[in-house]
Amino acid sequence: MYSTTIYNVNARMPFRFGQGVWRRRITSRPMPTPQAPPPSVPVAPPRRPQFRALLVGNNYVGTGSELGGCVADVRQTRAFLAASVPASMDARWYELSDERGPHGVLQGAQGRGTGANILAGIAWMLAGVLA
């Protein structure tokens, strides 16, 4: 008997209890005036881990104390690093070397292993990490 009464009450409700009541109240309020979206602030992408390699190979070409393997050392080390550094890192190289080439003395991508160049390479290496 009680259950029958309750069913009748529900059947007479013009809307369901719950969300319908609140939806009606909300829609009766004045609509907010549309606002311009906030200006988008450019977000810098997260900085990749930095990898800097300074490679110096001095063969002292043309001097009395010439060495043989130092430029090859740089080449070998560079090849190994290039194959091994994770692709997720921002890897850059700085090569200083001298080598007896077919048409004179060849040098590394960033020059010869002079004192000033080596110190500049050290500064470059640190700048990449500190930036």
- Taking CB under 8 A as the binding criterion, the range among 8-16, 25-33, 35-43, 116-124 that sits at the site for other proteins is 116-124
Instruction: Give the span between the Cα atoms of 93 and 53, in whole angstroms.
Output: 5
Is 108 among the residues that bind other proteins (CB under 8 A)? no
Is 10 among the residues that bind other proteins (CB under 8 A)? no
- Taking CB under 8 A as the binding criterion, the range among 4-12, 14-22, 35-43, 115-123 that sits at the site for other proteins is 115-123
Q: What is the 3-state secondary structure (H, E, C) of 55-110?
A: EEECCCCCCCCCCCCHHHHHHHHHHHHHHHCCCCCEEEEEEEEEEEECCEEEEECC
Is 115 among the residues that bind other proteins (CB under 8 A)? yes
Phi, then psi, of 55 in degrees rounded to 5: -120, 120
Is 118 among the residues that bind other proteins (CB under 8 A)? yes
- Applying CB under 8 A, the site for other proteins has a residue count of 40
Residue 70's nearest CA partner among 126, 113, 12, 119 is 113
Residues 64-103 that bind other proteins (CB under 8 A): 65, 67-74, 76-77, 80-81, 84-85, 98
